[in-house]
């Protein structure tokens, strides 16, 4: 993207809207997970302590519903705004999954097992990020639908078979666990504990990413952004890899 | 007049002198000649009672009673000193009580205080006498039929002692005009749970030494006061009843509220719990309508018609002594535990092919989870929100019916009505949201089952996959360094 400024080795990666989205979503999901898991694991002492200290189950449900409404509105906003941008050709559908993502996955696996010298060459979003994005997005849609059924069961039963209500409950509780585990395991690792970003990937908070990380993680996007050929980016990357190469006889 | 009386006296004396030779074998004791003389007039049974304006009649003395009394050979004048063969003064008494008192004093002329106070109850009575409450010997011992209380037998136990009076139909009048029957049938006591007990174990304050005067207004007052005895031994039960609704009602002044003896009986006291059907009939005494409803329920029918001892009776759900008000939210919220007592018991449910998962499925569903939180909130002194449907809200209380033989559509219709009590806008489909205590299976709830199944597969696969990715990533990083 031409309008992205490069200064001091930092490249603009996210617009303020995306930063706000992340903050709101992170906050709302934290509230939902806490108030939701306390209900899912209702027999645990800790859950009961938590619920009682928030003023009882009715208060917890009120908080859960309020945070739920925030997520519903945010998700709707995200889908509408993103589609709008793509339709108006003001943004690129960078999150769309394509054949290359499958190839990248396999390439990276080979790299991890030492069968390849360098990791896959990724565009703006790599396959890991896409997986996380789509899991969270579909998750939030599923949570919205099932959550509304549970919130208004009598209304839902006017249009749906009654069995959809317990099914919605099963879906809501399982999907919640899935989202929670995805964030707790995958997102936290990639954003905090991964050696590439440790102690914290600050790009979603500052909106900027170092050029060095772009070379490694998003070479295709960097090349397109700076208008330089991919070969030049790869050369930069190889130089750094070469240093590593000398130390590591495993890589050939 | 005097001459004739004297003649009769002499003739009688002669007769008596020769009589022993004739009747010794058949009559063990015979009245003295003086007595015979007196009985000429006093032995005639009066045809009619004397009254005002009529000829005063001679007081009647039953010779047969006199013969079997403790004084068969005592001459009349030995007690009635002012009378003799030729002496018959006109007796003048203010009233019957005065006459009784006067003659009772005669007893003490022979029976010295030292002698009678050997019996502790006499000692106590004499103490009372000093306070102006003079004992009347004849009240207990009779007059001409005077007899030891034991009836001649040796009193070996307190029971026998009390029975001396209380085996007779003695009564006392209460202030309300009601009559309290004081007769006690020992055979009833012997057949009871308390057959080893002695009278004063329950009637404390009474003994062979003490017989305090009680003053009750009504029979009910007496019953309520008497049941206080029970707590001396059954204090645990007593403290529990203090928490009961019956005690609360009694405290508010409703004397119809049951006390111990109303359910357990008094002398014929029974362990009510031993026969479950019997225990239900105790409650029926006051709660007849509820009993009728219960009798037609799946539980009551089995109890009464099949003599089934597994089904709950009143006290299993309401408890026996600490019966709380069943209309409180506390009782309502405890109902799942109440039902779980049997319905989670594999041994009992197994006999009837019933599932023991009913309580578990309820507690893990929306209503059960909310209910449990509300209960915890209550413990933490927070106010619970509103009543939550428990077992009885769908199944009914005393009219619980088994639905094994009922058309599922009828059951569904009934269920919807119950749902609408709390969810007034519920429509036909809504009641299907409840899986009827079944764990979701492919047959019973396929959508729920498949949702759960897919997550059960996908979730571990995803988490394991992600963790492997992370480990590979770390490994590659370590190798590269």
- The pLDDT score that the predictor gives to residue B41 is 79
Give the mutation candidate from B378, B415, B433 for the A interface (greatest A CB count, under 10 A): B433
Closest by alpha carbon to A119, among A11, A228, A238, A202? A238
Peptide bond preceding A199: is omega within 30 degrees of 0, i.e. cis?
yes
- The pLDDT score that the predictor gives to residue B24 is 41
What is the rounded (10 degree) CA torsion for B391, B396, B402, B407? -100
pLDDT in tens, chain B (481 residues): 455 666 565 555 544 554 444 444 334 445 567 777 787 778 777 655 444 444 455 677 877 777 777 787 788 888 887 787 777 887 777 777 777 777 778 888 888 888 887 776 777 777 767 666 666 777 777 777 776 655 554 455 677 778 877 887 778 888 898 999 888 888 888 888 888 888 888 888 887 777 887 888 999 999 999 998 999 999 999 999 999 999 999 999 999 999 999 988 888 887 666 778 888 898 999 999 999 999 999 999 999 999 888 999 999 999 889 998 999 888 999 999 999 999 999 999 999 989 898 999 999 889 999 999 988 888 886 776 688 999 998 888 898 887 777 778 888 888 899 899 999 999 988 988 888 888 889 988 999 999 999 999 999 999 999 999 999 989 888 887 7
Helix axes A45-53, A57-87, angle to 10 degrees: 90
Q: Do A175 and B455 touch (CB under 8 A)?
A: yes
Q: How confident is the model at residue A15 (pLDDT cuts 50, 70, 90)?
A: confident
* Residue B239 in contact with partner chain A when CB distance is under 8 A: no
Closest by alpha carbon to B477, among A67, A48, A119? A119
Residue of A nearest to B424 (CA): A154
Residue with token string 């002594």: B321
Q: Do A163 and B423 touch (CB under 8 A)?
A: no
**d(C-alpha B477, C-alpha B475), whole Å:** 5
- The pLDDT score that the predictor gives to residue B290 is 95
Q: Do A157 and B430 touch (CB under 8 A)?
A: yes
Helix axes B288-295, B276-284, angle to 10 degrees: 140
- The pLDDT score that the predictor gives to residue A241 is 64
Q: What is the average pLDDT across A156-161? A: 93
**d(C-alpha B361, C-alpha B342), whole Å:** 15
Lateral strand order in the sheet of A10-12: A6-7, A10-12, A208-210
Helix (H) or strand (E) holding B342, with range, is: helix B335-343
**d(C-alpha B181, C-alpha B165), whole Å:** 12
Q: Which residue has the higher pLDDT, A238 or A113?
A: A113
Closest by alpha carbon to A25, among A136, A172, A157, A151? A136
- With pLDDT > 70 as the criterion, what percentage of chain A qualifies? 92
- The pLDDT score that the predictor gives to residue B273 is 61
**d(C-alpha B425, C-alpha A182), whole Å:** 38
A167: helix, strand or coil: helix
Q: How confident is the model at residue A249 (pLDDT cuts 50, 70, 90)?
A: very low
Domain boundaries, chain A: 15-92
**d(C-alpha A49, C-alpha A57), whole Å:** 11
**d(C-alpha B19, C-alpha B187), whole Å:** 45
Give the mutation candidate from A37, A55, A111, A112 for the B interface (greatest B CB count, under 10 A): A112
Strand partners, A11: A6, A209
Domain boundaries, chain B: 354-439, 442-481
- The pLDDT score that the predictor gives to residue B272 is 62
Q: Do B447 and A167 touch (CB under 8 A)?
A: yes
Q: Which residue has the higher pLDDT, A147 or B55?
A: A147
**N residues, chain B:** 481
Q: Do B459 and A171 touch (CB under 8 A)?
A: no
Helix (H) or strand (E) holding B180, with range, is: strand B179-181
Q: Do A182 and B458 touch (CB under 8 A)?
A: no
* Residue A167 in contact with partner chain B when CB distance is under 8 A: yes
What's the pLDDT tens digit per position in A104-141? Answer: 888 888 888 888 877 888 888 888 889 999 999 999 99
Residues 6+ apart with CB under 8 A from B287: B314
Strand partners, A209: A11
* Residue A158 in contact with partner chain B when CB distance is under 8 A: yes
Token code pair at residue B327: 């209309």
């Amino acid at each position: 993207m031409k309008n992205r400024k490069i200064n001091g080795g930092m490249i603009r990666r996210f617009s303020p809207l995306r930063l706000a989205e992340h903050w709101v979503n992170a906050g709302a999901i934290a509230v939902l997970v806490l108030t939701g898991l306390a209900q899912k694991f209702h027999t645990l002492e800790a859950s009961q302590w938590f619920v009682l200290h928030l003023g009882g189950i009715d208060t917890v449900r009120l908080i859960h519903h309020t945070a739920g409404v925030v997520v519903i509105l945010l998700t709707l906003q995200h889908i509408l705004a993103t589609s709008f941008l793509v339709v108006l050709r003001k943004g690129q559908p960078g999150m769309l999954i394509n054949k290359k993502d499958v190839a990248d996955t396999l390439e990276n696996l080979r790299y991890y097992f030492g069968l390849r010298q360098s990791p896959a060459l990724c565009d703006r979003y790599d396959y890991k990020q896409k997986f996380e994005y789509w899991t969270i997005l579909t998750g939030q849609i599923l949570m919205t639908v099932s959550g509304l059924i549970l919130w208004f069961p009598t209304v839902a039963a006017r249009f749906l078979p009654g069995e959809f209500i317990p099914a919605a409950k099963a879906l809501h509780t399982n999907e919640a666990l899935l989202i929670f585990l995805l964030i707790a395991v995958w997102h936290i690792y990639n954003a905090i504990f991964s050696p590439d970003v440790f102690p914290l990937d600050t790009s979603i908070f500052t909106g900027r990413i170092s050029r060095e990380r772009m070379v490694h993680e998003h070479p295709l996007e960097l090349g397109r952004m700076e208008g330089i050929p991919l070969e030049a980016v790869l050369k930069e990357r190889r130089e750094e890899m070469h240093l590593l190469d000398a130390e590591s006889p495993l890589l050939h | 007049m005097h001459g004739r009386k004297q003649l009769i006296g002499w003739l009688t004396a002669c007769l008596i002198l020769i009589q022993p030779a004739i009747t010794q074998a058949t009559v063990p004791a015979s009245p003295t000649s003086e007595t015979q003389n007196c009985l000429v007039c006093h032995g005639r049974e009066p045809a009619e009672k004397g009254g005002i304006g009529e000829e005063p009649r001679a007081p009647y003395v039953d010779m047969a009673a006199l013969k079997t009394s403790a004084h068969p050979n005592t001459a009349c004048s030995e007690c009635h000193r002012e009378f003799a063969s030729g002496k018959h003064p006109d007796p003048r008494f203010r009233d019957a009580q005065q006459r009784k008192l006067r003659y009772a004093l005669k007893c003490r002329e022979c029976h010295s205080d030292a002698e009678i106070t050997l019996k502790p109850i006499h000692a106590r009575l004499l103490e009372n006498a000093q306070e102006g409450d003079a004992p009347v010997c004849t009240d207990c011992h009779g007059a001409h039929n005077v007899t030891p209380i034991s009836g001649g037998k040796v009193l070996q136990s307190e029971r026998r002692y009390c029975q001396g009076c209380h085996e007779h139909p003695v009564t006392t009048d209460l202030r309300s005009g009601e009559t309290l029957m004081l007769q006690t049938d020992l055979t009833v006591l012997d057949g009871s749970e308390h057959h080893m007990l002695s009278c004063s174990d329950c009637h404390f304050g009474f003994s062979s030494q003490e017989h305090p005067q009680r003053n009750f207004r009504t029979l009910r007052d007496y019953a309520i006061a008497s049941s206080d005895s029970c707590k001396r031994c059954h204090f645990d039960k007593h403290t529990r009843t203090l928490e009961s609704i019956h005690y609360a009602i009694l405290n508010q002044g409703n004397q119809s509220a049951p006390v111990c003896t109303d359910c357990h009986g008094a002398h014929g006291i029974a362990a009510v719990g031993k026969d479950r059907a019997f225990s239900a009939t105790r409650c029926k005494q006051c709660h007849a309508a509820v009993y009728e409803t219960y009798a037609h329920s799946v539980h009551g029918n089995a109890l009464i018609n099949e003599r089934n001892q597994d089904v709950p009776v009143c006290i299993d759900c309401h408890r026996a002594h600490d019966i709380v008000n069943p209309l409180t939210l506390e009782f309502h919220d405890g109902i799942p535990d109440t039902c779980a007592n049997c319905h989670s018991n594999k041994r009992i449910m197994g006999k009837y092919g019933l599932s023991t998962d009913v309580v578990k499925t309820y507690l893990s569903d929306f209503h059960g989870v909310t209910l449990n939180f509300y209960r915890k909130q209550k413990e933490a002194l927070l106010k619970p929100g509103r009543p939550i449907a428990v077992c009885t809200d769908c199944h009914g209380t005393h009219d619980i019916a088994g639905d094994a033989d009922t058309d599922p559509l009828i059951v569904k219709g009934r269920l919807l009505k119950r749902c609408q009590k709390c969810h007034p806008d519920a429509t036909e489909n809504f009641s299907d949201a409840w899986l009827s205590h079944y764990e979701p299976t492919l047959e019973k709830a396929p959508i729920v089952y498949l949702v759960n199944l897919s997550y059960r597969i996908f979730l571990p696969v995803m988490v394991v996959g992600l963790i492997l990715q992370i480990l590979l990533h770390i490994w590659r990083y370590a190798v590269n360094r």
